[in-house]
Structure 1
Amino acid sequence: MPLYIRDSSVDDLAEQVRIQLGARTKTDAVRAALQHELQRAKSDTPMRERLAAVRRRAREELGPPVPDVDIKKIMDDIWEEGE
């Protein structure tokens, strides 16, 4: 979906960012600025919340943890160190 900038001050900012970054186009400058802002916003999220989101996604994709599984024993068996 295209993004149209109708505000001349925003267009001027995009041009300034393009020049500062040495970007070829305003689109490249806006992409870089948005990626940077998204990264900054994510880093402002407390680690506890980020980890909770990762756990939530893992449970959605992988399902709940399997009870009574000894991961250490499994890993030792795989590496043939369980004896």
Structure 2
Amino acid sequence: MTLYIRDQSVDDLAIKVAKLGKAPNKTEAVRRALLNEISRLEQAEPLEQRVKKIQDEFKQLAGPTRTPFDMKAFRDSLYEDD
């Protein structure tokens, strides 16, 4: 069975992948690309977990908070006339 791609830009990409990957034809190039994408998606770490790691690293770097920051008092101090 041959592979027919209607979109010319997608066809060009398939040809480029076939050449770079030394695939014998476009069908094989597309098959390899799809298998690679499936593998990549299955191994991808969910965004929620990636964000949690970053938050945890930031908490480690920032250290413990001794006193809570009072944003209202800080904002008010910017507008006080002395």
1:4 Cα deviation from its structure 2 partner: 3.6
Counterpart residue number, 1:7: 7
1:12-37 Cα offsets, whole Å, 9 max, x none, are 00000000000001000000000000
Runs of 4+ displaced beyond 4 Å:
none
**Structure 2: unaligned runs, 5 residues or longer:** 47-82
**Structure 1: unaligned runs, 5 residues or longer:** 47-83
Counterpart residue number, 1:31: 31
Name the TM-score, length of structure 2 as normaliser.
Answer: 0.50
1:3 Cα deviation from its structure 2 partner: 5.7
> What is the identity percentage for the equivalent residue pairs of Structure 1 and Structure 2?
52
RCO higher in 1 or 2 (8 Å CA, sep ≥ 6)?
2
- CA RMSD across the alignment: 2.1
Residue 35 of structure 1 aligns to which amino acid in structure 2?
L
Name the TM-score, length of structure 1 as normaliser.
Answer: 0.50
Larger Rg: 2
